[in-house]
Amino acid sequence: MRLRELPPRFWLLALLLPPLPPPARAETSAQDVSLGVDWLTRYGYLPPPDPVQAQLQSLEKLRDAVKVMQRFAGLPETGLMDRQTLATMRKPRCSLPDVLGAAGLVRRRRRYALSGSVWPKRTLTWRVRSFPRSSRLSQETVRTLLSYALAVWGAESGLTFHEVDARHQEPDIHIDFARAYHQDSYPFDGLGGTLAHAFFPGEHPISGDTHFDDEETWTFGSKDGEGTDLFAVAVHEFGHALGLGHSSAPNSIMRPFYQGPVGDPDKYRLSQDDIEGLQQLYGKVPQTPQGTPTRRPLAPPPLPPTPLPDSPTWPIPDRCEGHFDAIANIRGETFFFKGPWFWRLQPSGQLVSPRPARLHRFWEGLPAQVTVVQAAYARHRDGRILLFSGPQFWEFRDRQLDGPARPLTELGLPPGLEVDAVFSWPANGKTYLVRGRSYWRFDEEARRADPGYPRDLSLWEGAPLAPDDVTVSNAGDTYFFKGTQYWRFPKGSVKTEPDSPQPMGPEWLDCPASTSGPHAPKPPKATPRSGACDCQCELNQAAGRPPTPFLLSLLPLLAGGLASRCGGSS
Ligand code: RRS
Ligand code: CA
Ligand code: ZN
Ligand code: ZN
């Protein structure tokens, strides 16, 4: 089609073409104009055609549309359909619009765009429904990379993500690797072009769903630059799944064009523009009065060793900073959990090693995506160990997982609630579950929640609200932990010691007092745990096992496992 054969609206757009010698311009412009209008309309830069529009206004809008498109594409904002702009438009690309509604064309200071929809909850579930048909990446690696990509958004918003088994729960975010037509209106286009797309939050079953083109060569940590980095694309798509549109900010992961790998998933941080967009939707990570997050966001699991030779590692946390996720007395030993790590104190009060051990190397069968244990306790009646994360818990027999994830509602909590602390109180053999300023009680013998709960935590006189965790020492005293402090309740008492709280560091973790809060340094007291292994050893008897095999089973794992990574352990 030649320019003179075009309908009048294309003449208008021809004004956007750069000044070129007439013959060359006429040869290219017919196709260019057609491509330009279609492209800008298809990707949301132009509203659908309106024949009654005034010409001058339209010209201005067209120039604006071209400029916005150029900004998104990282091109000079000429407002003209120049060579670079047309080249960009000719390349195959995503079918979802870049600009969401008319607001996208309004000039804004912020660069990010919002879909206008958000999830009305802070814990979201996900599942990979279909994996790549053939890929260098194993299914395990795919899941791990996806959980890292979700955690990137969780870290800045406090949102948490749980991988679920659809047989038990329909997830919010289904993830598929699909080819060509795949039961939505956005068929994929084979190798290259569009890499993936995602649906904004909402109530439709497809809302939040994220699709990757299975004809791409998905890679991670590729040395030769081959393939498409799954982690980078997943971070982008999950931005949409949470409600973000595309952005034109230079460092934004939400730019509509693939920018290549973004480095180690455990070190990757969102750009300021992405953070601002996200926090517009979900607010900031909840802060305590001291300015620290109340609960660390769900962190993803360590990456598998293969096929990632330079597999990044999590920074090892400093135990002296306190703020543990969970603390539990397990058969006489005290476990301090923080992210995907834990430390262990022997019944004598000695730290087994100053270096933490890895959660998943020890708790066999704990799903890889569970990287924060929010509470833990050893059940009095059978010695089983229960680990809690999000709205679920897992039961372990010694170190082995025994059964599927179970909902907290089984222990009497209302649906959707998570726990701060769980402990078994020797005074009555009941299990206490604490959340915020409320607590519930579970009768292990009758295997049902006690009526009349929740009750107010102030009934535990002097206890901090929303403790990090609560546990009972071998001497039978109850300890509440929060931040860098602990509160002691003498055996059988629901009233804290008058000198509570105390700094945890010197007492429990072999840390100097100065790193443990506002208290003056004081010499370590005789440890409340030392020697007297009474009530917790009864657990082993109740379980019909002596304590030794369990304790011994830890040693090769902690010593050997850490030695290979960290060069030895004490
Ligand atoms: C998207 O926004 N999903 O939410 C889609 C986006 C995407 O796939 N963009 C294309 C892209 O960058 N592809 C790279 C490979 C082909 C390159 C050449 C052709 N080409 C997801 C990304 C951001 C993770 C769009 C696209 C393909 C493109 C383009 C855009 C050339 C501009 C220029
Ligand atoms: Ca493609
Ligand atoms: Zn799709
Ligand atoms: Zn996108």
570 domain-assigned: no
Task: Supply the pLDDT for residue 181.
Answer: 93
Both 268 and 355 in one domain: the answer is no
Domain boundary among 232, 255, 282: 282
**Burial class for 400, CB neighbours closer than 10 Å (0-12, 13-18, 19+):** exposed
110 domain-assigned: no
413 domain-assigned: yes
Lowest-pLDDT choice from 81-90, 207-216, 532-541, 548-557:
532-541
Both 179 and 54 in one domain: the answer is no
pLDDT digits (tens, 9 = 90+) for 444-459: 999 999 999 999 999 9
Distance 247 CA to ligand 3 centre (A): 21
Both 44 and 140 in one domain: the answer is no
Is residue 180 pLDDT above 50, yes or no?
Answer: yes
Q: What percent of the chain has pLDDT over 90?
A: 44
CATH number at residue 135: 3.40.390.10
**What secondary structure letter does DSSP report for 287?**
B
Average pLDDT over residues 539-560: 31
Return the ligand 1 atom nearest residue 257 CA. Answer: 12
Task: Supply the pLDDT for residue 236.
Answer: 97
Q: What percent of the chain has pLDDT over 70?
A: 70
Pick the residue with more confidence: 416 or 413? 413
Both 278 and 402 in one domain: the answer is no
Task: Supply the pLDDT for residue 43.
Answer: 64
pLDDT digits (tens, 9 = 90+) for 45-103: 665 454 344 334 467 777 877 887 777 677 888 888 888 888 877 764 544 445 433 23
| CA nearest ligand 1 atom 5, residue | 94
**What secondary structure letter does DSSP report for 404?**
-
Pick the residue with more confidence: 26 or 547? 26
Average pLDDT over residues 193-203: 92
Reported residue count of the chain is: 570
496 domain-assigned: yes
Both 276 and 377 in one domain: the answer is no
Both 384 and 483 in one domain: the answer is yes
Both 234 and 342 in one domain: the answer is no
Lowest-pLDDT choice from 72-86, 250-264, 546-560:
546-560
505 domain-assigned: yes
Lowest-pLDDT choice from 196-210, 487-501, 503-517:
503-517
Does the CB atom of residue 257 touch ligand 1 within 6 A?
yes
349 domain-assigned: yes
pLDDT digits (tens, 9 = 90+) for 372-410: 999 999 998 888 999 999 889 999 998 889 988 898 999
| CA nearest ligand 1 atom 26, residue | 93
Domain boundary among 67, 90, 113: 90
In angstroms, the CA 41 to CA 54 distance is: 18
Is residue 247 pLDDT above 70, yes or no?
Answer: yes
CATH number at residue 516: 2.110.10.10
| CA nearest ligand 1 atom 13, residue | 193
Instruction: Name the maximum alpha-carbon separation found in the chain.
Output: 96
In this structure, the number of other CB atoms found within 10 A of the CB of residue 136 comes to: 14
Does the CB atom of residue 88 touch ligand 1 within 6 A?
yes
Both 394 and 543 in one domain: the answer is yes
Cα angle value 161/163/169 (rounded, 5°): 110
Does the CB atom of residue 193 touch ligand 1 within 6 A?
yes
Mutate to test the pocket of ligand 1, among 71, 99, 112, 194 (most ligand atoms within 8 A of CB): 194
Output the average pLDDT for the chain: 76
Name the helix (H) or strand (E) containing 502. strand 502-503
Mutate to test the pocket of ligand 1, among 99, 188, 258 (most ligand atoms within 8 A of CB): 258
Under the banding of pLDDT at 50, 70 and 90, the label for residue 105 is very low
Both 67 and 129 in one domain: the answer is no
Q: Provide the annotated active-site residues.
A: 237
In angstroms, the CA 156 to CA 180 distance is: 34
What is the per-residue DSSP string for 58-115? HHHHHHHHHHHHHHHHT----SS--HHHHHHHHS---SS-SS-SGGGGS--S----B-
Q: For residue 554, give the 3-state DSSP assignment.
A: helix
| CA nearest ligand 1 atom 14, residue | 258
Under the banding of pLDDT at 50, 70 and 90, the label for residue 32 is confident
Does the CB atom of residue 233 touch ligand 1 within 6 A?
yes
Q: In sequence order, what are the beta bridge partners of 434?
A: 421, 439
Distance 89 CA to ligand 1 centre (A): 11
Tokens 């038990």 belong to which residue?
168
Instruction: Give the count of domains, the chain.
Output: 3
Both 197 and 272 in one domain: the answer is yes
Does the CB atom of residue 435 touch ligand 1 within 6 A?
no
521 domain-assigned: yes
Cα angle value 276/263/141 (rounded, 5°): 105
Domain boundary among 90, 106, 132: 90
Residue 32: which domain range? 3-90
Return the ligand 1 atom nearest residue 196 CA. Answer: 3
Both 228 and 329 in one domain: the answer is no
Average pLDDT over residues 292-312: 37
Is residue 26 pLDDT above 60, yes or no?
Answer: no
Alpha carbon of residue 70 to chain centroid? 32
**What secondary structure letter does DSSP report for 300?**
P
Q: For residue 504, give the 3-state DSSP assignment.
A: helix
311 domain-assigned: no
Q: Kindly identify the ligand whose nearest atom is closest to the C-alpha of 84.
A: 1
Distance 186 CA to ligand 3 centre (A): 5
Q: Kindly identify the ligand whose nearest atom is closest to the C-alpha of 261.
A: 1
Is residue 523 pLDDT above 60, yes or no?
Answer: no
| CA nearest ligand 1 atom 2, residue | 256
Task: Supply the pLDDT for residue 4.
Answer: 36
Both 66 and 209 in one domain: the answer is no
pLDDT digits (tens, 9 = 90+) for 120-160: 999 999 999 999 998 889 999 999 999 999 999 999 999 99
Distance 141 CA to ligand 3 centre (A): 22
Does the CB atom of residue 69 touch ligand 1 within 6 A?
no
Under the banding of pLDDT at 50, 70 and 90, the label for residue 483 is very high
Q: For residue 129, give the 3-state DSSP assignment.
A: strand
